[in-house]
Amino acid sequence: MSLAQPALKIEPAGVMPPVTEAVFKRPHVTIRGLSKRFNKTVIYDKFDLDIPRGKLISVFGPNGCGKSTLINMIAGLIPPDEGQILFDGMLLDEIKFGYVFQNYREALFPWLRAFDNIAYPLKMMGIGKAERQARVERLVERLGVKIDLNRYPYVMSGGQQQLVSIMRALVVEPEILFLDEPFSALDYEMTLFMREQLQRIFVETGTTTVLVSHDLEEAVYLADRVLLLSRHPALVADFVTYDAPRPRTDATLSDADFVQIKAHCLEVFQREVRKG
Amino acid sequence: MKRLEPLLPFVGVVGLVAVWYFAVWKQIVDPVLLPSPTTTFWALWKGMNGELGFDFIKTVYRTTMSIVIAAAIAIPLGIVLGSSERLYRSLEFVIDFFRSTPASAMFPLFLVLFGVGDETKISVAAFGAMLVILFNVAYGVMNARKTRLLAAKVMGASRLRVLSDVMLLESLPQTFVGLRNGVSLALVIVVVAEMFIGSQDGLGHSVFEAQQMFEMPRMYAAIFAAGALGYGLNLLFLLIERRFVHWSGK
Ligand SMILES: Nc1ncnc2c1ncn2[C@@H]1O[C@H](COP(=O)(O)OP(=O)(O)OP(=O)(O)O)[C@@H](O)[C@H]1O
Ligand SMILES: [Mg+2]
């Protein structure tokens, strides 16, 4: 299977590439021996994974296989039972990261205007008001966001609220961005629009991004790598590379390459579902 | 038609007054027991510019004092209890028990403690209102949306920050439910206390005295004054809530 890549791609120890390249190629996140169980169910058992730097990783797998659990453990929302997760050899609390929840309604603070919602993590970092303002404005500028951020989240559309959530995650200039099914509560039109927004943001910032998606087309369309998980305990069923150039467009969806990779992912997925 | 919509609430009032006039005109009820609306409103107008107005202010004072005391104790306590589910569970029975105990049953006890002055009326009302507010604040804090707490946590908020920036604000809508229920209860207790606990003034006293002296228009006037006070207090809290908890129910 030419598309498949081993989950653990350990760099050959002997050859030392030039330093800059080495830094670029070194995985961003290394997960080793990760185990997690809920009551009696083993969700992860000695799970290993390397997340490459500056790539958008889609996580796809059967319902309840542990996609959310995985990114929540990486993002420190739930503690693993065992194992180690390192970011460039550092622990989570030494790095800056962003997390976007599926449920934007409950993730944003309704008592703050959108602008202050976005600035909130900067406040937590102890950054002064003027600087916070400047940074949010810079982000708005860079992303070309056109919505009125002086409004409260509850008067905004779902897509606008989720965009605010994403901006709140990005404002700290995170080294890594996690999104757990960020568009699944939006209607189809909004979902398509938000995919483009996310792609633009990714192209713009180049932030390592981990996106959980339950939509295979979306997962492949946005991804550099698609992580296919198996069920109970979750293993890497495949870690597919998709390197079509960006920006991808609607035409990408009918490219032979895209169609082939999507078909391959579907095949792996169905194999895993049948096993379960 | 649309322009007349704001007038809809007055339909009921006009209807009620019309029925009242009709009942008086047809003498369906003994005229001594049911004076006409005109007589009653005249008594209300005269009273509010005199003795009834004084009683009104007394009742407002007592109710306000009791709600302020109740809120000052119950809100901080409710936040502390609510932020530790274990603590709340261990005190839940006690709170629920006293919340279910009619506050009026506490009068004799408070009389022994505070004598027959204002303190007794205010403290019994404060006691009743406090439990209602406490219960609501604690639940508001406990039911803070989990995602929101997690969101604050991943953005690097400390435990204290999560409490002050998220839990506190999350609990505000429920706190206002508690305040509105608390103020209604406090008013009930104050008025009852004014009737029976050696009181010389207040709306309760006014209603009771008018009844004893068979001055029906004055009695109705005092009842309406009490009603207006209850409605006004509720409305006041609703307006404050709308102003400060603009996200409530959104
Ligand atoms: N807090 C918890 N307590 C007990 N079981 C849990 C808990 N959280 C998750 N689980 C279980 O662990 C498994 C993995 O959950 P997880 O939410 O990671 O799955 P998922 O792949 O994100 O599923 P979905 O496609 O529904 O989002 C599921 O079977 C779920 O029921
Ligand atoms: Mg999930």
Residue nearest to atom 6 of ligand 1 (CA): A38
DSSP per position, A109-151: -TTS-HHHHHHHHHHHTT--HHHHHHHHHHHHHHHT--S-TTS
Q: According to the model, what pLDDT value does residue A13 have?
A: 45
- How confident is the model over A110-130, as pLDDT tens digits? 999 999 999 999 999 999 999
Q: Which of A72, A106, A117, A127 is the best residue to mutate to test the B interface, defined by the most B CB atoms within 10 Å of its own CB?
A: A106
- Return the number of other C-beta atoms located less than 10 Å from residue A139's C-beta: 20
Asked if B190 and B59 touch (Cβ cutoff 8 Å), the reply is: yes
The H or E element that residue A26 is part of is none
Instruction: Decide if pLDDT at A8 tops 80.
Output: no
Chain B CB contacts of A154 under 8 Å are 247, 250
**A11 has pLDDT over 50:** no
Pair of tokens at residue B143: 């039911």
Please give all residues whose CB falls under 5 A of ion ligand 2, grouped by chain where several chains appear. A 68
Please count the other Cβ atoms lying within 10 Å of the Cβ belonging to residue A36: 23
Q: Does residue B129 surpass a pLDDT of 90? A: yes
**Residue B180 scores a pLDDT above 50:** yes
Asked whether the beta carbons of A153 and A117 are under 8 A apart, the reply is yes
As beta bridge partners, residue A37 has A42
Cα of A105 to nearest chain B Cα, Å: 9
**pLDDT computed for residue A23 by the predictor:** 53
Measured CA to CA, the distance from residue B153 to residue A121 in angstroms comes to 10
Burial of A34 (0-12, 13-18, 19+ CB in 10 A): buried
pLDDT of amino acid B1: 64
Q: Is the CB of A63 under 6 A from ligand 1?
A: yes
Mean pLDDT, residues B143-147: 87
Q: What strands lie across the sheet with A56-60, from one edge to the other?
A: A97-100, A176-180, A208-212, A56-60, A225-229, A236-241
Contacts of residue B143 in chain A, CB cutoff 8 Å?
Answer: none
Q: What ipTM was predicted for this assembly?
A: 0.80
Amino acid A154 reads Y
> Which chain B residue lies closest to A154 (C-alpha atoms)?
B250
Q: What is the spatial distance between Cα A239 and Cα A189, in angstroms, rounded to a whole number?
A: 29
Q: Are strands A56-60 and A225-229 parallel, antiparallel or unpaired?
A: parallel
Q: Tell which residue, B233, B150, B153, has the closest CA to residue B191.
A: B233
A245 min Cα distance to partner chain B (Å): 33
For ligand 1, whether the C-beta of A36 sits within 6 Å is: no
Of B145, B146, B156, which is closest to A125 when you measure between CB atoms? B156
Residue with the larger pLDDT of the pair A25 and B76: B76
Q: Are A60 and A223 in contact (CB under 8 A)?
A: no
Q: Give all domains of chain A, ordered by start, each with its CATH number.
A: 1-95+209-269 (3.40.50.300)
**Dist CA B105 CA A47 (whole Å):** 64
- pLDDT of A79 > 70? The answer is yes
Average pLDDT, chain B: 91
Please list the helix, strand and coil fractions of chain B in percent, rounded to the nearest 5, in that order.
Answer: 85, 0, 15
CB–CB of A110 and B250 under 8 A? Answer: yes
End-to-end CA separation in angstroms for chain A: 23
Chain A residues in contact with B161 (beta carbon < 8 A): 124
Q: How confident is the model at residue A148, as a pLDDT? A: 94
Q: Does B178 score more than 60 pLDDT? A: yes
Predicted confidence (pLDDT) per residue in A95-112, tens digit? 999 999 989 889 999 999
Q: How confident is the model at residue B85 (pLDDT cuts 50, 70, 90)?
A: confident
Q: Does residue A68 have its Cβ closer than 6 Å to ligand 1?
A: yes
What confidence score (pLDDT) does residue B199 get? 85
A166-187 pLDDT, tens digit per residue, is: 999 999 999 999 999 999 888 8
Nearest-by-Cβ selection for B148 from A75, A99, A106: A106
SS3 call for A34: strand
Chain-chain contact of A110 with B156 (C-beta, under 8 angstroms) = no
Query: What pLDDT does A94 receive?
Result: 87
Is residue A3 predicted with pLDDT exceeding 50? no
Report chain B residues whose CB lies below 8 A from the CB of A97.
Answer: 154
In the β-sheet with A29-38, what is the strand arrangement from edge to edge?
A41-51, A29-38, A82-87
Mean pLDDT, to the nearest integer, of A49-76?
Answer: 93
B132 to A106, B112, B126, B139: CA distances (angstroms): 27, 24, 10, 11
Position A25 confidence tier, pLDDT thresholds 50, 70, 90: low
Report the C-alpha gap between B204 and B195 in whole angstroms.
Answer: 5
B52-244: CATH topology: MetI-like fold (1.10.3720)
Give yes or no for a contact between B237 and B183, defined as CB atoms under 8 angstroms apart: yes
Domain ranges of chain B: 52-244
Residue A20 pLDDT: 52
* Nearest ligand 1 atom to alpha carbon A212: 22
Q: Do B59 and B204 form a contact (C-beta atoms < 8 A)?
A: yes
Q: What was the pLDDT predicted at A6?
A: 43
Contact B246 A152 (CB under 8 A): yes
- What pLDDT, on the 0 to 100 scale, is given for residue B30? 85
pLDDT in tens, A233-270: 888 989 999 999 989 999 999 999 999 999 999 999 99
What is the C-alpha to C-alpha distance for residues B64 and B59, in angstroms, rounded to an integer? Answer: 8
Structure confidence at residue A276 (pLDDT): 65
Phi/psi for A241 (5° steps) reads -95, 135
**Ligand 1 atom closest to Cα of residue A67:** 21
pLDDT digits (tens, 9 = 90+) for B183-224: 999 999 999 999 987 788 999 999 999 999 999 999 999 999
More reliable by pLDDT, B103 or A58: A58
Nearest ligand to the C-alpha atom of residue A180: 2
Calpha distance A136→A142 (Å, rounded): 10
Q: A67 CB under 6 A from ligand 1?
A: yes
